[in-house]
Amino acid sequence: MMDRRTAMVWVLGLMLMWTAAADASSRSERYVGTAVDLKTGKLIYTEEHEAFYTNDVNVRSVITYRDVKKNIIGKKEITFTDNSPAAEFRREDYRYGNIEAAALVNGSVQLTTKADAASPAKEELLRIPQPFALDAGLNNLVRSQWDKLQKNEPVIFNLGVPSQLDYFEFRVVKDRSEVQNGKNTMVVRFESDHWFIRLFVEPVVVWYDTETRRAVRYEGISNIYDEKGKSYIVRVTFDKPGP
């Protein structure tokens, strides 16, 4: 029979093994995005990302937004499932009370928007045709279609947009290859799949590090709004490979 001292050592050993296993499969990392006005280069805000990984898969991220004085102005929480492009999220702007969110509900998508602190929240439950993406899940979409994009083949998908309580057909296409801060990148454009809309709406352009397949730079519409409720048009540069 095992004596008490031996039993305690045995249990401690198991605890250490479990801890080591947990450390091997779970980790987190931090990086910062700096957002400047795309035309003037003026600093608007920074994004402090904390990404949580399980078995090297990003399962959750928390983004803290700060203004030029380092005050926290908002937060976004994102949940990923199996590298899916359909990422659940909730973003709140603490200055104006604006909220946008998307959640998966029994095969449908519940989109939520709240214009400001004084406005009621509005929701819409939609069946979005596959393939579809939500918010930061766009990065997973690019990674899953990497080889196709490298061959200059467009990828068509539907994007859920909480602010409009609707979804729209988009496409992502390779624009070019480029060296950015000493790193080889694939530059892609996210744009409407309808030629007429493309005449009036500028695309979102993202630089992806070809080694990590993670974003290092972003140019386009922001999900942070100004005091008039209008989205900033920004360039976001990450201090290391980002989302």
What are the residue ranges spanned by the domains of the chain?
A: 25-238
pTM of the entire predicted model: 0.86
Helix (H) or strand (E) holding 36: strand 26-37
Low-confidence spans in the chain with pLDDT less than 70: 1-24, 195-201
pLDDT of residue 6: 44
Buried b (16+ CB within 10 A) or exposed e, 12-29: eeeeeeeeeeeeeeeeee
pLDDT of residue 229: 86
Alpha helices in the chain (DSSP H): 4-25, 137-144, 146-150, 195-198
Listed residue (179, 174, 172, 189) closest to 216, CA to CA:
179
Two tokens, residue 192:
């409407």
